[in-house]
Amino acid sequence: QAKQFGSGQTAIFDETMHGRALARLTLESELRRAAERSEFEVYFQPILATQDERLQGFEALIRWRHPERGLVSPAEFIPVAEETGLIHDIGRHVLEQACRQAAQWRKRSPHRSKPYVSVNLSAVQFAQMDLLEQVEGALRRAGLPGNCLALEITESVLMEGSHHVRKTLEALRKLGVRLYIDDFGTGYSSLSYLHEFPFDALKIDRRFTSNLLQGDEHRGIVEAVLAIARHLRMTVIAEGVEEIEQLQLLRRFGCEYVQGFYFSRPIPSEQTAEWLERTSCQPHPFRSHPAAR
Ligand code: C2E
Ligand code: MG
Ligand code: MG
Ligand code: MG
């Protein structure tokens, strides 16, 4: 009796495993074809100055328009793309699109505003030997100055502390490209890399922003991050601002830049024009990191 029960469990377990493996294989092969079928789109989310709510730039966020499933979240497919190496093609595509879009903003914007574009890079892309050439090429083909591009990197890239990563970051800085640490405080790395690498800004992860209204300890974390950044002469961008109370606290704490659903969700490129018309965009000069200049 007990044995039967046991084997029955195994069968169910195997089926689930099988189902998962199958779903994964399907995702992989669909992802492979997605690029050829032009199913990827780049969306843009406005980044604003906290004080006057003026537009500073946009973060480029990839979307996959699956023929049957509709929009698939990057949280689902980026990890698979990283494991299969497809991230290299996807990353190149986003970089090219984002630079081209930013060049158009510069040409077409009614107030001669020059919003920058911020592109996410995965750790896997950072391991590529030709990342610098990819960035240079994308800027050149778009005719975009380096200082109109920011690259968002997670702490995991820095954990290895490799010579290649350091050299690449320094070379990117020489192109004028800004470097942001994304999802700050969610990884497992130490703080020591902050002054070792030439970063311009920290992005406060959404979970800290959403916790802002949950009590004093949570506010303390955000205030501490802002203090660290100030000491290192880095700028801070808080993501995931959904409520006016969060914005007010961030303003009070001296967080300079914000993005979030309170202002706008990520939008398709056609809709970015409205943002350029609505707000005369005046990007503030960034403080630069002492190690970088
Ligand atoms: P991330 O870089 O930290 O991007 C911020 C995420 O928070 C985005 O999710 C954005 O849509 C979402 N978000 C922004 N404001 C709010 C808000 O007020 N409330 C809520 N609930 N969410 C908000 P998304 O677009 O789903 O992207 C998820 C992650 O996927 C990104 O996190 C990034 O790590 C990765 N990703 C997206 N696009 C790319 C890409 O082109 N390349 C790479 N390598 N990764 C990407
Ligand atoms: Mg990001
Ligand atoms: Mg982030
Ligand atoms: Mg995040």
Q: What is the pTM of this model?
A: 0.90
Cβ atoms of 206 and 182 within 8 Å: the answer is no
Complex ipTM > 0.85:
yes
User: What are the pLDDT digits (tens) for 39-87?
Assistant: 999 999 999 999 999 999 999 999 999 999 999 999 999 999 999 999 9
Distance 5 CA to ligand 4 centre (A): 44
Cβ atoms of 198 and 148 within 8 Å: the answer is no
Contacts of 4 (CB under 8 A, 6+ apart): none
Quick one: which ligand is closest to 75's CA?
Answer: 1
CB within 6 Å of ligand 1 — which residues? 45, 61-62, 73-75, 78, 91, 94, 120-122, 152, 182-183, 206, 239-242, 259-261, 266
Select from 42, 43, 61 the residue to mutate for testing ligand 1; criterion: most ligand atoms less than 8 Å from CB.
Answer: 61
